[in-house]
Amino acid sequence: MGKIISIANQKGGVGKTTTSVNLGACLAFIGKKVLIVDIDPQGNATSGAGIDKGEVNECIYDVLVDDLAIEKVIKDTAVENLYVVPATIQLAGAEIELVPTISREVRLKRAMDQIKDDFDYILIDCPPSLGLLTINALTASDSVLIPVQCEYYALEGLSQLLNTVRLVQKHLNHHLMIEGVLLTMLDARTNLGLQVIQEVKKYFQNKVYQTIIPRNIRLSEAPSHGEPIIIYDPKSRGAEVYLDLAKEVAEVG
Ligand code: ADP
Ligand code: MG
């Protein structure tokens, strides 16, 4: 049975999309069948996985708002075993358009129920907010993976996210778990990063992944080529660490 993981943090720029695309591609690389569902109107996971947003006619918006079957919008990618449900800027309207609709929080879950068993992993790339789109993602998920940037104020705002997780657990999805906390963009040359690691580990304890994602220039270049790091530069440090993370998530040695 497929496992659905939301990649969420309402802070922008913490590495959600980079993790969705590269963890997804690396899980595919180790033989898992993976679907990335982009629910950020920016559509960065869509383009980062190599899909030209200009060529996308129907996207997750049509699934959430117009009840289009999700399998109709699944696209394959240049990476074997890696598929994407794209988002375009049209999705920006969904947050408001869904407000007056019936079952507005469970629309993504209902759509996902149809395809869940077709994949080993489904990763949902969340927008930088705790609005209805993120609620839909958490409601549809088995667990949530929280990227935390190794920066000052790393823990700031996380209590709001955890509170939202608790509310979803209570009212919409009893099964939701914390998959893990991923430290991202570590600059190993500074002491600050090491302090942040200690602070986050103290707070989240054994939920923190052993794999820590360093700052790596190749990771920031890859999206403009529409390629996951494992294709763009498989020998880079970025590719190595996301492969390590994929093995940690899939619990293979
Ligand atoms: P989010 O989806 O949380 O907003 P992104 O994944 O888009 O964050 O990352 C924000 C920016 O930082 C992007 O330009 C991305 O390319 C860059 N970035 C993310 N992770 C790394 C990293 N480990 N090293 C260098 N740049 C990174
Ligand atoms: Mg993003």
The CA 171 to ligand 1 mean position distance, Å, reads: 32
Question: Within 10 A of 167 (CB to CB), how many other CB atoms are there?
Answer: 13
Look at ligand 1, atom 6, and give the residue with the nearest C-alpha. 15
Q: Are strands 75-76 and 82-85 parallel, antiparallel or unpaired?
A: antiparallel
In this structure, the residue with its CA closest to atom 24 of ligand 1 is 215
In angstroms, what is the span from residue 170 Cα to ligand 2's centroid? Answer: 27
Q: Is the pLDDT confidence value at 239 over 90?
A: yes
Confidence label for 252 from pLDDT (cuts 50, 70 and 90):
confident
Distance between start and end Cα atoms, the chain: 21
Residue 193 near ligand 1, beta carbon < 6 Å: no
Tokens of 206: 């054994």
Q: Which ligand is nearest to the CA of 217?
A: 1
CA atoms within 13 A on the CB side of 186: 20
Distance from C-alpha of 152 to C-alpha of 145, rounded to nearest angstrom:
20
Any ligand 1 atom below 6 A from CB of 127? no
**Distance from C-alpha of 217 to C-alpha of 230, rounded to nearest angstrom:** 14
Residue 31 Cβ contacting ligand 1 at under 6 Å: no
Report which of 249, 253, 186 is spatially closest to residue 25, judged by C-alpha positions.
Answer: 249
Tell me how far the alpha carbon of residue 54 lies from the centroid of ligand 1, in angstroms.
23
Cα-to-centroid distance, 216 and ligand 2 (Å): 17
Evaluate whether ipTM surpasses 0.85: yes
Q: What is the spatial order of strands in the sheet that 82-85 belongs to?
A: 75-76, 82-85, 34-38, 121-125, 3-7, 143-149, 177-184
* Residue 203, CB-side half-sphere exposure with 13 Å CA sphere: 17
Condensed to tens digits (0 to 9), the pLDDT of residues 162-211 reads 999 999 999 999 999 999 999 999 998 888 888 899 999 999 999 999 99
Give 51-91 pLDDT, tens digit per residue.
999 999 999 999 999 999 999 999 999 999 999 999 999 99
Spacing, Cα 19 to ligand 1 middle (Å): 8
Query: For residue 33, how far is its CA from the centre of ligand 2 (angstroms)?
Result: 22
What is the rounded CA–CA span in Å between residue 144 and residue 165? 9
Amino acid identity of residue 6, one-letter, is: S
Closest ligand 1 atom to Cα of 220: 16
What's the pLDDT score for residue 253?
56
Query: Ligand nearest 12 Cα, by number?
Result: 1
pLDDT digits (tens, 9 = 90+) for 101-150: 889 999 999 999 999 999 999 999 999 999 999 999 999 999 999 999 99
Verify whether ligand 1 is closer than 6 Å to residue 44 (CB atom).
yes
Q: Which of 14, 18, 126, 218 to mutate to test the pocket of ligand 1 (most atoms within 8 A of CB)?
A: 18
Ligand 1 near 216 CB (within 6 A):
yes
Mean pLDDT of 240-249: 98
3-state SS assignment for residue 43: coil
